[in-house]
Amino acid sequence: MSETIIRNPGNRDHLARIRPLGRTVTVTSGGATLARSDAAFVLAEEAPRYGELPEVIYIPSADVSGLTPVEGKSTHCPLKGDASYLALDGRQVAWTYDRCIDGADVLSGYIAFYADRVAIETQSAA
């Protein structure tokens, strides 16, 4: 994958740049490994209304384990689509886009973690 740009259909200034991470990413919590992948990508969202947003690493769901769905919680992003949430031992730690907006389908099948709720480490790919 090279860089991909997705845009909010209702606000062309709201966009996200998606690029391959190019490194191995490992996500842990309390000593347990929740994810390890060489196929992750980085999403950098530009939303003038909200200011600068932190980059987020998305990991293929096949490379993630140990999470359970958070029942009854979903949100909608006008740029990306409808998200659902995932928990570890009852604590919400990640999200995924179940229904993506046209053009954002690259997010389908990927999971992102809250950087302040788990440890996310990257290293040079093997």
For residue 36 the two structure tokens come to: 């390890």
Token representation of residue 4: 């991909």
Q: Please report the pLDDT score of residue 49 as a whole number.
A: 81
DSSP 59: E
Query: pTM of the entire structure?
Result: 0.93
- Which tens digits make up the pLDDT trace of 87-118? 999 999 999 999 998 889 999 999 999 999 99
Whether the predicted pLDDT of 125 surpasses 70 = no
1-5, 74-78, 105-109, 117-121, range with the lowest pLDDT: 1-5
d(CA 80, CA 7) in angstroms, rounded, equals: 9
Q: 47 falls in which pLDDT band (50, 70, 90)?
A: confident
Query: What gap in Å lies between CA 55 and CA 61, rounded to an integer?
Result: 19
14 in Cβ contact with 49 (< 8 Å): yes
Report the pLDDT value the prediction gives residue 51, as an integer from 0 to 100.
77
For residue 1, pLDDT over 80 is answered with no
**Residue 61 CB contacts under 8 Å (≥ 6 apart), including other chains:** 96, 109, 110, 111
Residue range 19-35: average pLDDT? 96
Question: Residue 63: its pLDDT value, please?
Answer: 98
Q: Nearest CA to 118 among 91, 96, 84, 97?
A: 91
